[in-house]
Structure 1
Amino acid sequence: MLDRIAESLFWIGRYTERAENHVRLLDVYYHLREDSTGEDESVWRRIASTLGDSASYEERYSNYEERDVLHFLTLDPTQANSLLTCVIQARENLKKIREQLPTELWNLMNGFYLWLKGVHVDEVIQQSPHRFFQRVKEGLSAFQGTAVSITLRDESWHMMECGRYLERSENVLRLLQSVSQKVPEQNKASYAFTLAVLKSAGGYEAFRKLDQEEFCMEGVARFLLLQEKFPRSVQFAVTSFEQHLKAMRGQTDTSGSALERVIRMAGKARSELGWIDRNEIHLDSLGDVLQQLMATSRQLGDSIAKYFFSPGREVIA
């Protein structure tokens, strides 16, 4: 597999997953805003700093208002981390390697992009942001579901999935970093607050079925970090990332020693997660745990870039 093809596949996986996670996080903040007693401007400032670049926002706008922040984070093609930009990047990478993947995937991505490009922020606000976010999640899920259904399980598939699961682990960590900072002291977070966090990852029903934790922010954090059976947990994502790397043994032209080094790093990350004691995850220690896991995830991304992509290209998450 050529370097440029591997890179495009990896970033298709990352950008589609990032777009979905951004929408999920925005939806969480809308729920939190409705449950918040603070000033609107402080809420929007926090949203903009979590998903975007505050300095870039302040160069264009004088105040943090709903319409401006929503446009900046979702539909602004000049904002490097907006929803629309993620979809554009995924589409451009797919366009470069259309012959490597089923035509249906291109049709879905292109159609989704054309719909999103035509959406205006005033329509989103008037018709309900929650409905818009749901429509975006459905479009991205259709792309991923079709990929799962019809894509050959060759090196192209495994590289795309590596990008998707690495991005997923990082975005769950970002979600927890963002919301854990808002938890009131002594773990007195409201039920609605904690419920919004769990639902953002689609994990409410799974939490109730699989976990015996008390329904609090600490319990939700343990679930989203360590629950091996939940597909959106960090543990599940890192394990899947390692499995897709192992599946490329003998399928890719990348030197075996380089691939094995990345596999060993992924195995180490998975093992470190497995050794975390659930009782060690509490509000006082959560920030340090998340910071360490984020550093490990970035090292994995850097290693993929070093061993699989063209020299001089960086992985920027």
Structure 2
Amino acid sequence: MARSPGRYTEQDVEHYDRPRRRTRPRTKERPSYDDAVDGVVVTVDRGRFTVIVEAREIWAVKARPLGRKGVVVGDRVRVVGDVSGVDGALARIVEVRPRTTVLRRTADDDDPVERVIVANADQMVVVTALADPEPRPRLIDRALVAAYDAGMAPLLCLTKADLADPETLLVTYRSLGVPWVVTRKGGDLAELRERLQGRTSVLLGHSGVGKSTLVNALVPDADREVGHVNAVTGRGRHTSTSAYLLALPGSDDGWIVDTPGIRSFGLAHVEPEHLIEAFPDLDEMTEDCPRGCTHGDDEPECGLDVAVAAGEADPERVASFRRLLAARSEPAY
């Protein structure tokens, strides 16, 4: 069978290839951004970033060369463009400095996607009310696990001490060596301020525990919305809707990060061997553990059990560590 003629003949212009896109060769040279200035991200809002540059807040967007690289609160960045801070000015973030710490969470333990909450913080302040609403030790445990995994120092901040005795909760965490401060309505915050000086601290807690009240007392200009606890459910409503980095008045290098109230804290990203590294005395006792030992209650020949039996380890401290370890596999809520 004779081959049918094509649609176009050699005389038709459509016969020839159309010019392809991006025919110009791409250069490997990239801008040096020698004129970029340093800044720190204080909040993120729908793809726009508020950045402090030379003691003033500016608006910025992420430059295209950064691609899918995330920029989060606490990131130290370099920016170019209009950094005057005047209305309508917009700069570009062109570089994210290496992070010293990264606080992560997953929505649930079976969620493979890690969400970075904040970067470059060195202390986690776990805020929990002693009553109204009742403490949630499982959520506290999970927050502590995330802090240890991120290499951050933990601090318990127990609010509403005028409503309940703090010792009831403290007895659970004393053996872990977790420091704490106790506050009450209208009380003095001098001890808390002292522990925040010179550090970048993330305030974390579920809704209704008084976190926003603390932030407003520590940073009077913060104007964070204060919520109330539902009398029926015993739960608070979310008042902070996004993380916000705030400078502490009277401190040259003290910062706090107010975060939205949490109801779950997934720990799918935390490995047992990483967690025990936060407890050097216990970690040393596991050197002879069988390969693959998770150091949990049901592990045969675990070095922690051997140390307890020999009187070389505090049974309460081992039990508290294993409670944190178990928190990884319990429901996130």
Same fold (TM over 0.5): no
For CA contacts below 8 A with separation 6 or more, give which structure has more relative contact order.
1
Structure with the greater alpha carbon radius of gyration: 2
- Kindly indicate which of the two structures has a greater share of residues assigned to helix: 1
- TM-score computed with the length of structure 2 as normaliser: 0.24
